[in-house]
Every structure is written in structure tokens, then in C-alpha cells.
A = this chain, B = another copy of it.
Amino acid sequence: MMSLIEKDYIVVAQNASGRNMHVPVYRIRGNRPGPKVYIQSSIHGAEVQGNVVIYHLLQRLKSLAVCGEIVLVPNCNPVGTNIKAGEYTLGRFDPVNGTNWNRGYYYDENAVHAFADTVSPHTSDAEIRTRFRAFWAQAIADKLASPWGLGLAQQLNLKLQQLAVDADYVLDLHNGPVSTRHIYIPEYARDSAKLFNIPHCIFIPNVFAGALDEATFCPWWTLQDALSKKFSREIKLGVEAFTLEMGSQEVIDFAEGDVDATSILSYLTAKGAIQDTHIRPAQMIRRGVALKNYKTLYTQWGGMVEYLARPGEQISAGEPLARVLNIDELDNDRGSEVVPAPCDLIPILHFPSASVLSGTQLYKVFTEYFTITTDTE
């Protein structure tokens, strides 16, 4: 059995030469019914490993039994991918105005409640889903048609969101600076933590800050809660969305990408998007943290840093995180100084340059973390 891959392009921007900038859209339509899956990568231009993951997913999906439809959009930000500043890619924000490329997706809590008001008790979940998708798609289209226009990042975000709006499962593939693999999971879907082979899981609340995962789960989560309350019964609409951080930026690794693809196929198998695979979640230690305990350690000083604690290691309070070189103090004891861990923690990522100013995100770390138990099934 071979799944057919369709390829298409959408125009998301026009550059200063007046040339269209395209995003490739790969699409596999299964022979059997099933959920819709949307996977994109590289909204931040320097976060490129997700493109390799999509490469491997496409290779492997060719010979798997897809149910429903899987849409894969690698390199989804052709502007951010192509802004160099020195040898690196200035891909996290619009170089013109500093706008983070992952903060302009659409969400409006009031609109969800307005929709919820229109739902009557006897509406089926399937009908709710269908009607809400149409409602939400219209809201995005209206936003895109704003008479005075929209900023570049927002235009890009909304055009991508249109591809994802009717998906049941949305995966946004990112990278950290120098990072171990980790995943952001909405709390209502916390069981899905065990379906990916990702060792570090951050559980996040129903708060919108502009990212694609939030723009996907916030409306569904809010709608579920509103309807559950309205009808005094638990309603689950089944849409899930995640941000997966596939290691470090500025690097691709084909071998690791294949492992990452297996992890995603494990989730898709569990969700019924592919059938007849033997891919099951790995037996592994997964650690979780509530978002509020996922801390950023900022520097209070500037200097040159050796990062001693490696992403993924368990570090005890007081153990060294970093060693700082103070260039003006090489003749005395302050020439090099150690930054100790303020508490027990697991570093998840660190700043990618040895040169730091005060106020730099030195490390992001798990504190108060816990082990995610896997029930024997």
C-alpha cells in the first residue's frame, strides 16, 4: 500500500522585490475515514530540525495506512528562514519590528462564548465540531480581510491557521536554543504526554499568548468548558494541539529526525490517524512540570559563560550551572565565578552564545517536576 503525496503551495507574503513567497503544503489523503492532522515546522526560521522530521514522516507515511488526512507544512516561514545576520538565521522575530513570528494567530474568547450561546442541548458533538469549525474559519477569514490590512507576521500566521483550522490534531515543530527535547501539552490533554517519546513535558493552562498551539486548543477548551457548564455534563470535543521542541536550533540531524518521526507516528497511531502500525509509545522516563514551575533564570551580570549543566541532566540545588569569565578581573579571584543552581532542577535549554548581557535567559529549567506514570494497560 502506498499513500499518495500531493504537493501544493500557498503564498504567504511578498518581498521587497515584489516577488511572492511560497510555503509548500504536502497532503496525504487516506483511503479510510479518520481524523485530520496538521503538522508544521520552522515558523521560527532557525528552528530547522522539524523540517527533517517532516521529511521522515513523509517517507514513512508513504507506506502506512493513513486514515483521514494528514497535512504537513515544512519551512512554513519563508521570510524568517531567509534573514541572515552574520552566519546565523535571525528567525525568531520580524527583523523590521521585532514581532515574534509565533504570536499573531487568531483567538477571541468572547467569540467562543457567543458561539456557545447558540448551541442547543440536543446538538451532537459532531455537529458542534462542524459548526464551530465553520464559525472559526469565518472569523479568521474576516480578520485576514481587515480593511486596513495586517502586519506581516499576523498575515503569515493567519494563512497557516486557515490550513489548521479544521484539524483534530495540530503539531507545531520548534527548537530551543541549545535544548533537550520537550513538549508543551494543554492540561486537558495531559494523557497524551505518554503517547509521544519526549522526556520533558510542560503542562499549560487555558491561556492565549498568540502561538499556534494555544490558538488551536484555547477555543476548543473554552468551548468544551462552556458547554459542559451550560449542559451540566462533561463534553470532550477531542481536538488537541502541541508545540514540540525537537532539540537545538541551527542544526539538523537526519538520524535523530527519524527517531522524532517515530515519536509522532506513535501519537498518530494512538489517535487513529494511521492504522496497522506496530508503533507504540516507548517505555521511558517522562518528566512533567506545571508551566508556572518552568522557570527562566536571567543573568544579573554580563560576561562570557561556559554552560556546565547539560540540558536534560538532573541538577541538585547548589551544583554548578555555569562558569563566568570576567574579562576585567583576570588578575584576581573574580576572574572566574560559578553560578550555582538555585534549587533542584532540570535544565531544558540554555542560551546559545557564550557572550551574555545582563537580563539574558541563561537557562530555562524544570523545578518542582514530577515523573509521569504510565499505567499498565
Contact = CB atoms under 8 A, between A and B. Distances in A.
A52 B304 contact: yes
A94 B295 CA distance: 21
List the 5 shortest-distance A-B pairs measured between CB atoms, nearest first.
A152-B359, A149-B298, A93-B98, A85-B85, A98-B98
Contacts of A252: 304-306, 325, 354
7 contacts: A13-B302, A16-B81, A16-B304, A18-B327, A24-B330, A55-B335, A87-B353
Interface stretch (A71-79, A121-129, A265-273): A71-79
A357 B16 contact: yes
Interface string A20-56: 0010101000000000000000000110100110110
Interface residues of A, number: 96
A312 interface: no
Nearest to A327: B75
Interface string A161-199: 000000000000000010000000000000000000000
B152 A360 contact: yes
A331 B98 CA distance: 34
A331 B85 contact: no
A357 B152 contact: yes
A95 B100 contact: no
B148 A298 contact: yes
A251 B355 contact: no
Given A252-B306, A328-B24, A75 B357 contact: no
B17 A325 contact: no
A336 B22 CA distance: 20
Nearest to A323: B254
A219 to B, nearest CB: 24
Interface of A: 5, 7, 13-19, 22, 24, 26, 45-46, 48, 51-52, 54-55, 58-59, 72, 74-75, 78-79, 81-100, 147-156, 177, 250-254, 295-306, 323, 325-331, 335-336, 342, 351-361
B96 A84 contact: yes
Contacts of A153: 359
Contacts of A81: 15-17, 355
Contacts of A326: 18
A7 B327 CA distance: 11
B303 A89 contact: no
Contacts of A361: 97, 151
Contacts of A22: 19
